[in-house]
Every structure is written in C-alpha cells, then in structure tokens.
Chains A and B, each alone.
Chain A
Amino acid sequence: METETQNQLQDTAGEEVMIEADALVKTYGKGEKAVRALDGLSFRARRGTIFALLGPNGAGKSTAVKVLTTLTRPDEGKAAVAGTDVMGSPDRVRRTIGVVSQGTGVDIQATGRENLRLQGQLYGMRGRVLEQRATDLLELFGLADAADRIARGYSGGMRRRLDIAMALVHDPWVLFLDEPTTGLDPEVRADMWEQIAALAAEQDKTVLLTTHYLEEADQLAARVAIVDRGKVVAEGTPEELKSELRGDAVYVELDEPAADGAVRPALEPIAGVREVVVDGRALRARAEDGGRAVPSVLQALEARGIAVSSVRVARPSLDDVYLRYAGRTFQEAESEDTEVKK
C-alpha cells in the first residue's frame, strides 16, 4: 500500500489514480442505534474515466461521497483526491473537485445565472471571465433561455442540469455525481447520460458516479464497484463483472408449481446447465450457452410430463452480479433497507 499523499499515485497498470478510498469506516449514532454506513470501503478511480459505485439505497454510496468531498470525516481510513489527502488538506481538495449531491443544491430564490455567479465567486472567479463562464455553461446545459428566471420555476431536469453546471464552474479535475438521475424522467435521464459521458470523454474529467440504476452503471462507467453494507463486494468493468458469472440465465415458467426435487435431477445431467433452482412456477438455471441449452431443457421437462408456459434466455445483468456478491437481489436489498429506515 502506498502511503504517499502529495504525489500522484499510479496503479499497477501505470495509470494515474485520481480518487482513492482506503478502508473507510464511518458510523452514525451511538450504542445500539449505531449504523455502520461505511465498513472498510476501498476503491481507486483512474484519471479521465467514469467510475461508478453501484448499490441499493443505504449501501453507503452517499456517505462515501460525503467523505471524499470533505463534507464529513470518516472514523477510520484514508482518502485522497488528485493526490491530496482529503482529511489533511480539505481546502485544497475542495478547489479540485466539483460536487453534485443527492437531491439538489440549487438556491431556488435566485436565478440560474445568479446561482452560477455566486458559485464561481466562492472559487475566486470574478469579472468578465466569470460572466463568460456562466454564459457558456448555461448554453452547454440548455439553460440559456431560462438563465435569468428564478430557479423556483425550473423543472427537475433543469435544476439537475444547473447543479452540474455549478459543479463545473471552476473547471474541476474531479466531478462527484451522487445519484444524478434519481427522480428524473427516462428521457431526461438519457440526455443526462450523454452529457455525463461527454465530460469524461471530451474534457478529461474523472467522474465518480453513484447510482442504484444498474443500466446507468452499465452504460456510463468504465469501472464499477458494487457496494453492499458499506463495503465494495466486487469491482471491475461491467463486462468483467458480468462474464465472471459464466454463461446466460435461463428462465422457465412452468404451467404448474413443481417440487425442486422432481425437476433438478431431470436437468442437471444436461451438459453446461448448472445452478438449477425451482421456486413454485419459476425455474431458474445457468447455462454456458443459453440458446443451445433450451431445446434439451424443454425435452427433459417434457419427458417428465412437466408442462412449460414460457422460456426466456438472458445475458447476465448487473442485477445477477449483485445477487451473486451480495447474496440477495437488488430489490430485496432495497426493501430491506426501507424497513430498517422505518
């Protein structure tokens, strides 16, 4: 483990590391009510790439962002952004980063332009440079027409775009986007994806994105870290993570509920078919090559007199990856979390 904090780190592939989280621990509350939001979370994001922290609500993603952006301090662990120690020199880190936090940070009593102007002033920008920068960003994010209207009247998508514009006003190296598309319409979300992708690709910005949308991480991120209960349980490119599952998922819907014991022996001898699970009418299995396995599966079921109503083959999704590493599906994790919060 490198301990240097002032110099640029390089990872094993010789790439420049822009964000480094090392065994972060953060607990809220005390005694029995204590919640361990971060439980040894570690990851590294490379320069000029989008790195996603993927996990359900309450997994600790936002807490990680709060620590890395100097908003709050961890109980244990270390963090560095652009080679600067986050706890040691928070003010220096603040000048290097732009942050879009969960929800919004727009001052709804001010106009879009006034929001941007104040944000720039806090970073020491002024005069014509600042005015020009504000105008450019309003233009870039499609807010030119609304620039001098009070933000109270902005739509959710417009506020979000203004948030991102504000985070970019001082041209930071690293951009933190905490759930940037939560609560947006699907179309607006797709637009947002394009803009985020362009930031990393065209402007060499390092983006840390947190999301609980599997497609979002899949679409945008060069690397994904799956976060569950305050730690990273798996990390890699979306393709790596999916290919680790080896093979496709085969879903069969049976006409009538069947017993696990009756179905499993019928299917397991088929070459390439594994992990057969029957739950009522739903039969789930994994196959090296789903398309090829289907005829044999159907044949075997027919031979036992088990009627089938539908069959579906799917490439593994990040949802499957999540299930494998966290031991529960995304939906289960989300609903468990809501229960805890209540």
Chain B
Amino acid sequence: MTIVRHSYFMTIRHVRELLRQPWWIAVTLVQPVIWLLLFGALFKNVINIPGFHGTSYIEFLAPGVVVMTALFASGWGGMPLIDDIERGVTDRFLVSPVKRTALISGRLVHSSLTIAIQSVIIVVLALIDGAGFPGGFGGVVVMIVVAVMLGAAFGAISNGLALLARREETLIAIMNFVLLPLTFLSSAFMQQNLIPTWMQHVADFNPVNWAVVAGRSAVSANPDWGLIASRAGFLLALLLVCLAFATRAFRTYQRSV
C-alpha cells in the first residue's frame, strides 16, 4: 500500500516536471512521428520484395516504430536520476522513509504513460497514412502493452546503471552501444524471414523483437495468441529481473556513498 502511494507521489513529481517543459513535450511528441514518416518513406519499396506479406509498409512499420520509441524513451530514462543524484535529491529521499522501489517505479510509471501517449499518436498517424490494423482496438491495446513492458524493463536497466555509474557519460556510452543495434537486430523494419539467417537467430533472443513480433501479430488480421502470450511472458520475466537489478543497485549505491 505504502509502495503504491509513494510511487504515486513520485509519478506526480515526474509528470509535473515534464509538463513544465513545453519544448520537451514537443520533442517527445514529434520524435515518433518523424521515425514513422522517415522510415516509412525510406523503406516504402520493401513491399515489392518477393516474399513480403501485406500491401502497406506503414501498417507493417507502425508496431516497429511503437516499440522503437518505447525502447529509446526508456533507455535514456536513467539520465534524470543522475541529475537527482548530483543535486542531492536522491540522498534526501534515501534518508526518508520512502520505499526504495517507489523511487524506480515512479519513474517507470511516468515513462510508461509517455510511451502510451506516443504510441497512440503513431497509431493515429499510421491510420491516416493508410494502415488498416485489422486486429482492431483490442489488438492496438495489446501492442501498446507489450511496448510498455519492454520500455519498463529497459527503463529499470537504465535507472540501475545510473545508480551504479553515476556519470552521464557512462550511461550515454552504454545506451548508444546497445539501443540502435537492438533495434536493427529485430524485425522492426524488415520482415524476419527476409533478413540474413544469423540475424534471424539473434532476433529470436532479442527482447526488442519479442515486443515487435507480439505487437505486430496483435494488430494483424489473424493474431497468433500463442505467440503473443509467449513473447509477453518473456517480456514480463525480463521486466521482473530488471526491476530486481534496479532495486539492488540502490544497495550498491548506498554502500559507495
């Protein structure tokens, strides 16, 4: 109960912070739109490749962009925590009775809300651009949920790394190294059976691909619920591991201060 209340207080704090930075809201909202339009135009002719199923690249791409947006938004999620550490805010919280988990979950709830809003914008824009999403409203909701799960997992990793490294440069280096390759080692932009064989194998173990595959199937005409459930299960397991890591990182942080 206390954890829920404390998480709520922290979420309010982060949301308020975001609302006070209109230019940042603008960037947050415009970024996914740019991904969708840019990649949509760049890879438009993908549908002409023999073996590609479907007639609309935008419809194929949208789940990929939803997941990519979730991944990037969360991957950088640890940066504001480093700010808090440098400003002494984190230490102030740590000597109060606040639940440690709430310090992480407040940030994750906040970024999940952002991801959900960004996803809705992408979906609406894709619809305008000709996507059909035969999976319907329910399918879209499932797609957003798996994207949020992936985002929360990477957000937890990013926050945990922020506590361990305590330097923006380190976090930037790690995330630069990880985020784009993970995106491209998935079927976000290209049907999985059309990418090189070794990449197909790597993609099977890539959490980003779990989210893309599950989300895309959910909005398709014939969702494969078995596949969706298994990938969502993997993502849930990953999320729990990442949360445990982030909470433990507090202990390591407290030993070193």
Q: Which residues of A contact B (CB under 8 A)?
A: 28, 66, 69-73, 91, 94-95, 97, 99, 101-110, 114, 118-119, 121-124, 150, 166
* Other-chain contact of B87, A66, A70, A102, A106 (Cβ < 8 Å): A106
Nearest-Cβ distance from residue A36 to partner chain B, whole angstroms: 15
Considering the complex, give the chain B residue whose CB is closest to the CB of A109. Answer: B17
Q: How far is the CA of A107 from the CA of B13 in the complex (A)?
A: 10
Report yes or no: B95 in contact with A99, Cβ–Cβ below 8 A.
yes
Across the interface, which residues of A come within 8 angstroms of B224, CB to CB?
none
Q: Which residues of B contact A (CB under 8 A)?
A: 5-6, 9, 13, 16-17, 20, 84, 87-89, 91-98, 254-257
Report yes or no: B96 in contact with A119, Cβ–Cβ below 8 A.
yes
Across the interface, which residues of A come within 8 angstroms of B16, CB to CB?
109-110, 114
Considering the complex, give the chain A residue whose CB is closest to the CB of B253. Answer: A72
Report yes or no: B87 in contact with A123, Cβ–Cβ below 8 A.
no
Report yes or no: B254 in contact with A73, Cβ–Cβ below 8 A.
yes
Report yes or no: B89 in contact with A71, Cβ–Cβ below 8 A.
no
* Other-chain contact of A73, B6, B84, B94, B255 (Cβ < 8 Å): B255
B87, B97, B254 — which one has the most chain A CB atoms within 10 A of its CB? B97
Report yes or no: B257 in contact with A72, Cβ–Cβ below 8 A.
yes
Report yes or no: A122 in contact with B98, Cβ–Cβ below 8 A.
yes
Report yes or no: A91 in contact with B97, Cβ–Cβ below 8 A.
yes
Considering the complex, give the chain A residue whose CB is closest to the CB of B88. Answer: A105
Asked whether A118 and B13 contact (CB < 8 A) given A28-B256, A94-B96, A109-B20, the answer is yes
A102, A109, A123 — which one has the most chain B CB atoms within 10 A of its CB? A109
Considering the complex, give the chain B residue whose CB is closest to the CB of A63. Answer: B257
Report yes or no: A66 in contact with B257, Cβ–Cβ below 8 A.
yes
Considering the complex, give the chain A residue whose CB is closest to the CB of B80. Answer: A109
Report yes or no: B92 in contact with A99, Cβ–Cβ below 8 A.
yes
Report yes or no: B96 in contact with A122, Cβ–Cβ below 8 A.
yes
* Other-chain contact of B88, A73, A104, A122 (Cβ < 8 Å): A104
Across the interface, which residues of B come within 8 angstroms of A122, CB to CB?
6, 9, 93, 96-98
Across the interface, which residues of A come within 8 angstroms of B257, CB to CB?
66, 71-72
Q: How far is the CA of A104 from the CA of B92 in the complex (A)?
A: 9
Which 9 pairs from chain A and chain B are nearest by CB? A105-B92, A105-B88, A69-B95, A122-B98, A122-B96, A99-B95, A109-B17, A94-B97, A103-B88
Q: How far is the CA of A94 from the CA of B91 in the complex (A)?
A: 12
Report yes or no: A71 in contact with B9, Cβ–Cβ below 8 A.
no
Considering the complex, give the chain A residue whose CB is closest to the CB of B2. Answer: A124
Across the interface, which residues of B come within 8 angstroms of A72, CB to CB?
254-257
* Other-chain contact of B9, A28, A107, A118 (Cβ < 8 Å): A118
Report yes or no: A71 in contact with B97, Cβ–Cβ below 8 A.
no
Across the interface, which residues of B come within 8 angstroms of A105, CB to CB?
87-89, 91-92
* Other-chain contact of A110, B5, B13, B98, B256 (Cβ < 8 Å): B13
Across the interface, which residues of B come within 8 angstroms of A103, CB to CB?
87-88
Across the interface, which residues of A come within 8 angstroms of B6, CB to CB?
122
Report yes or no: B87 in contact with A71, Cβ–Cβ below 8 A.
no
Report yes or no: B13 in contact with A123, Cβ–Cβ below 8 A.
no
Nearest-Cβ distance from residue B39 to partner chain A, whole angstroms: 33
Considering the complex, give the chain A residue whose CB is closest to the CB of B97. Answer: A94
Across the interface, which residues of B come within 8 angstroms of A121, CB to CB?
5, 9
Q: How far is the CA of A154 from the CA of B15 in the complex (A)?
A: 22
Q: Could you show 25 A-B contacts with beta carbons less than 8 Å apart?
A: A71-B91, A71-B94, A71-B257, A72-B256, A73-B254, A73-B255, A91-B97, A94-B96, A94-B97, A95-B97, A97-B95, A101-B95, A102-B88, A105-B88, A106-B87, A106-B89, A107-B87, A109-B20, A110-B17, A114-B16, A119-B96, A121-B5, A122-B97, A122-B98, A123-B96
Given A70-B95, A72-B255, A119-B92, 7 more A-B residue pairs with CB atoms under 8 Å apart are A66-B257, A94-B96, A118-B9, A119-B96, A122-B97, A123-B96, A124-B97
Across the interface, which residues of B come within 8 angstroms of A104, CB to CB?
87-88
A102, A103, A118 — which one has the most chain B CB atoms within 10 A of its CB? A118
